[in-house]
Amino acid sequence: MKKLVVLLFLIAPQVFAQADLASHEAQLKTALFAVENARSSRPDLCSPRSVRADTLFLVKDRDWTSGFFPGNLWLMYELTGKDFWKDKALENTMHLEHIKNYGGTHDLGFMMYCSFGNALRLTNDASLKPVLVQAAKTLSGRFDEKIGLIRSWDHNSNSWKYPVIIDNMMNLELLFWASKETNDPQFREIAITHAQNTIKHHYRPDGSSFHVVSYDPATGLPEKKNTHQGFSDASAWARGQAWGLYGYTMTYRETGQKEFLDQAVKIGHFLINHPRTPADLIPYWDYDDPAIPHVPRDVSAAAIMASALLELGTFDIPEAPQFLAYGKALIKSIQASYLSPVSTNLGFITDHSTGHLPAKHEIDTPIVYADYYYLEALTRLQKLDK
């Protein structure tokens, strides 16, 4: 595996190419046209999520994926510097402003930080800050002090009393930002406590993670450890492992606490050395599906992993060169075989992601968050090149 990573890196150390960027712009323009056309008759629809049955599947603003499309537009603005993308990004971002008060989900980090967070980062428009601060306050309302974790879902109450999913690590960045912006340590304390308890209860000795851990509110202790989107309770669902890698890399960046760096490195080792990783590095949807290799891949997991490794590889750790090489090799592999040809796939940039195989939807199809983390990885590559 290590030899393959080095080989891919040496063949094409410069994986970011202007030709690719031009095709990505063309795809996003196709998506913009499709979205604006759909909104003309369905103004309640907000953002494209995926392709289902050869049809563009759009979601309302309360869907957990609603922030990724405006995020994609902001990332394209960052990559190109073109005001066209800035204007379209701001227009699509403002659709989500009222979500700052929506307390029915833990995914406000995805929804608001990918949209408004990128908007603030790239424009420095101070009028955007109160929106993000309120979103952080709303998210904090889902934290239970006795359990020490932010509740993920309010549904499936017949199965789980207080479910927490590994994906929730991704929403902590909003809280870290809010703590710095407001000088309120509570946001930061909630995020750190959540991250520490996730290490304690979600992770196995080999560095892999359960998807769902449910807690008993009476005791504050775990009652069940399950999966919802993976192959089995004991399996390593690929995107879940990628969420954890990214989440702990980000948490170390925000805190400087070694326990979070150690966790990110441990997850990184689990992923880049996994014996069931395919030759082109794009993971199967679940590392433990017994039907491997005759199962779908998940480009979204690969893109999240690549973006995380391209940051983890900048830290002062012995594994940094290996992590950077692997991150670049993942992007090279996506570019070689997993991009949508221009004018296909209704404007999505990447293809062959898997959303929820057990529920039999979004299987081997374009998905918006795969595009987001792929584009984010390109921005990180661009900065590394400079």
Mean pLDDT by 10 residues, the chain (386 residues): 47 58 96 91 92 93 97 98 98 96 97 98 98 98 98 90 98 98 98 98 98 97 97 98 98 98 98 98 98 98 98 98 98 97 95 98 97 98 90
The enclosing H or E element of 120 equals helix 118-123
Q: Establish if 222 belongs to a structural domain.
A: yes
For residue 19, the model assigns a pLDDT of 64
- Bridge partners, 338 (sequence order): none
Q: Establish if 185 belongs to a structural domain.
A: yes
What is the C-alpha to C-alpha distance for residues 264 and 111, in angstroms, rounded to an integer?
A: 24
Q: Establish if 213 belongs to a structural domain.
A: yes
Q: Establish if 165 belongs to a structural domain.
A: yes
Kindly name the residue from 20, 54, 107, 125 that is annotated as catalytic. 107
Exposed, middle or buried, 229 (CB in 10 Å: 0-12/13-18/19+)? Answer: buried
Residue 44 annotated among the catalytic residues of the structure: no
For residue 272, the model assigns a pLDDT of 98
For residue 368, the model assigns a pLDDT of 98
Nearest to 348 by CA among 330, 367, 363, 328: 367
For residue 16, the model assigns a pLDDT of 60
Q: Establish if 386 belongs to a structural domain.
A: no
At residue 351, φ and ψ (nearest 5 deg) are -135, 170
Read off the pTM: 0.96
Q: Establish if 289 belongs to a structural domain.
A: no
Contacts for 111 with CB less than 8 Å, ≥ 6 apart: 64, 66, 67, 96, 99, 105, 135
Contacts for 147 with CB less than 8 Å, ≥ 6 apart: 162, 197, 215, 217, 220
Name the token pair of 336. 């070689």
Q: Establish if 207 belongs to a structural domain.
A: yes
Distances (CA, A) of 317 to 52, 97, 258, 264, 320: 42, 39, 11, 11, 5
For residue 165, the model assigns a pLDDT of 98
Domain total for the chain?
Answer: 1
Domain containing residue 212: 142-226
For residue 280, the model assigns a pLDDT of 98
Residue 107 annotated among the catalytic residues of the structure: yes
Q: Establish if 48 belongs to a structural domain.
A: no
Kindly name the residue from 54, 63, 167, 280 that is annotated as catalytic. 167
Distances (CA, A) of 288 to 190, 239, 295, 314, 376: 33, 13, 11, 30, 28
At residue 20, φ and ψ (nearest 5 deg) are -65, -40
* Residue 305 contacts residue 274 (beta carbons within 8 Å): no
For residue 217, the model assigns a pLDDT of 95
